[in-house]
Structure 1
Amino acid sequence: MSTDYAERASRLPGAVLWTKGADRTGGGAGGLVLPDGCMDLLWTEGRLLVAGPDTRAFRPGPGLRGPWAGVRFRPGAAPALLGVPASALRDRRVDLADLRPGGEVRRLTGRIDAAPDPAAALEELALRLAAEAQPEDPLVRAVAGALAAGHSVAATAEAVGLGARQLHRRSQAAFGYGPKTLARILRLQRALGLARSGVPLAETAARTGYADQAHLSREVRELAGQPVTALLAA
C-alpha cells in the first residue's frame, strides 16, 4: 500500500487538504479511517464523492486504488456547503452526483481530472461551494469547540443556551449524530493524539477524561474496531 499521505491546512478556514498516492498492492483504497467528527469531499480519477460522518472505523474496499485527494471539513461545516443534513450521510460514502445535478458534477469531475494539480482544483471547488453556501452557524461551531475541549454535553448545552432535545436535533443535522456520540469521538481523537506522542496509556486516559486505562481500551475497541495497542502500532 502506498504510504505517501500528506496534508496541509486548506485555504478554506478550518479545513484540511490531503492527498494520498495510489494503492499499488491492488488491495483497496488504503488503511483504516477512524471516526473524527468530520466530513470529506473526495476526488479520485473519474469520481467525486462525499464521505459522511463515521460512527465506527471505515476500511475502504477493493477496487478503489486512487490516487486520492480530499478536503476534510471541520465538524459541522459540510452540511451547509452540500445542502444536506449530516445525518443523511452518516457512515456512508456517496457520489457527489447524488447530491447535486449530474451534469454539473460530470463537468467538475472532468475539470479536476485534467488539472495539473487535482488537489488544488478540488480545494477550489470546496472554496466555491463555501462561497455559495449560507454562512456557517456560530452555534454549531460553539458546540463542536466545547465538546472538542472536553466539556460535558450538559455544560455545552448550557453554554450555548439550548435544551437537551434542541441540542440533540441541531447536532444530528450538523454532525450526523447526537452530542454524546460526537463527544466520544472527539475524546477518542484527543486520546490517540496524546498516546501517539508518547504519553503512557494510563496517563492518557486520565488526561482525557476516561475512568481508567481499561475504559479507554474499551472505547478504542468499540469505535476503532481493534485494540488500542494494535492501533498505535499501525
Structure 2
Amino acid sequence: MPVESVHRPSDSRYVSRVWRGRASGAETMTSVATSQWELVFWRDGRTTHAAVRGPETAATTARIAGESDSFGITFAHGTTMPHLPASALVDSELESPCVTARRFLLRGEEWPIPRVEDAELLVDRLVRAGVLVRDPLVDEVVWGGAARVGSRSVQRRVATATGLTQGAIRQIDRARTAAVLLREGAAPLDVVHGLGYFDQPHLARALRRFIGRTATQLLPSRAAASGTGSMPDAMSLLYKPEHPSSS
C-alpha cells in the first residue's frame, strides 16, 4: 500500500486520536476534510519536521516526496492554543521554525518530540504550561449536547475554539462517517437514510467536497471489480468520528 496508517483513541480529554503513518511509492495523496486541528511530526530522509495543522474544510491533493514517516496528535473539539487563534489555522498549517530529531519549538519554547505511545505525556506538559486549554462546552455541543448558555454564546465559543461553525463541523464529520461506512461495504442508499442526507445526489456532493471520492470509488467491491473504480491516489487517515468518553 502507498500509505499505511494506524490510529488509536486517547483517554485524554484534550485529545481525540493519536495516529502514525508511513508513505512510500505514492506521488500524491488526497487529504480529506477534518474539523479538528493536529500537532504533526514527520520525517523525510534525515530531516524531521513539526507543524500545527488546522482544520481542513475540503478535500485537497498533497504531493508526497519519496518515503516519509509521520505521527500526529488530533485534538478534541474545544482544545485550543491561546497564542494561536483557531481561525488563523483553518485550511493552513504552521511549521515549527526549529526542529531537531528530538525536540521542536512551540510558543517560543522547546518541547520533546514524543513517541506514539506516550503522546499524552507531551499533552499533559503543554496543559500545565498553559500552551493548551480546553472549553468543555464546545466538545459537548458539537456532539449534540444541550448547552446551559444562550445560542449566540454557544456559536461564539465554538467558532473561537475551532475556527468553524457548528454546521460546518457536522457536515465534515457526517461525510467522514459516510465514507467509512461505504468503505466497510454499506449500500449508498442505506448511508443516505442512516445519516440524514436528502438523497443520493446530496451524499455525492458531500463526498466530492469533503472526501474527494465518489461513493463507487469508496465501495470495496466496486474498487476491486473495476479498474475505473480504483482510487486515483492514496488517502490520508480516515476514521469515523466517535463521541468522546466522559473521562
What's the TM-score, normalizing by structure 2? Answer: 0.72
Q: Which amino acid aligns with 2:107?
A: R
Where does residue 7 of structure 2 map in the other structure? 7
Name the structure where helix makes up a greater proportion of residues. 1
How far off its partner does 1:207 sit?
A: 0.9
Q: Equivalences for 1:14-163 in 2 at 5 Å?
A: 14-21=15-22, 23-25=23-25, 27=27, 31-45=29-43, 46-63=48-65, 65-77=67-79, 79-80=80-81, 83-97=83-97, 100-101=107-108, 104-105=109-110, 108=111, 111-112=112-113, 118-120=115-117, 122-133=119-130, 136-146=134-144, 159-163=146-150
Provide, for residues 149-171 of structure 1, a one-character-per-residue CA deviation record: whole Å limited to 9, x for no partner: xxxxxxx6xx3144454333222
What CA RMSD, in Å, does the superposition of the two structures yield over aligned residues?
Answer: 2.7
How far off its partner does 1:201 sit?
A: 0.6
Is this contact kept in 2: 1:52–1:86, CA < 8 A?
yes
Where does residue 101 of structure 2 map in the other structure? none
How far off its partner does 1:123 sit?
A: 4.4
Q: Distance in 1 between matches of 2:120 and 2:140?
A: 25
Give the fraction of aligned pairs with identical amino acids, expressed as a percent.
28
Q: Which amino acid aligns with 2:53?
A: A
**Which has the larger displacement, 2-11 or 36-45?**
2-11
Q: Distance in 2 between matches of 1:187 and 1:124?
A: 31
Name the SS for the 2:12 alignment partner.
coil
| Greater relative CO, 1 or 2 (CA 8 Å, sep 6+) | 2
What's the TM-score, normalizing by structure 1? Answer: 0.76
Name the SS for the 1:124 alignment partner.
helix
- Aligned residue pairs total 208
Q: Which amino acid aligns with 2:140?
A: A
Name the structure where strand makes up a greater proportion of residues. 2
Tell me, which stretches of 5 or more residues in structure 2 are unaligned? 98-104, 224-230, 232-247
Is this contact kept in 2: 1:76–1:144, CA < 8 A?
no
Q: Which amino acid aligns with 1:93?
A: E
Is this contact kept in 1: 2:55–2:90, CA < 8 A?
yes
Cα distance change, pair 135–89 in 1 and its aligned pair in 2 (3 A): closer
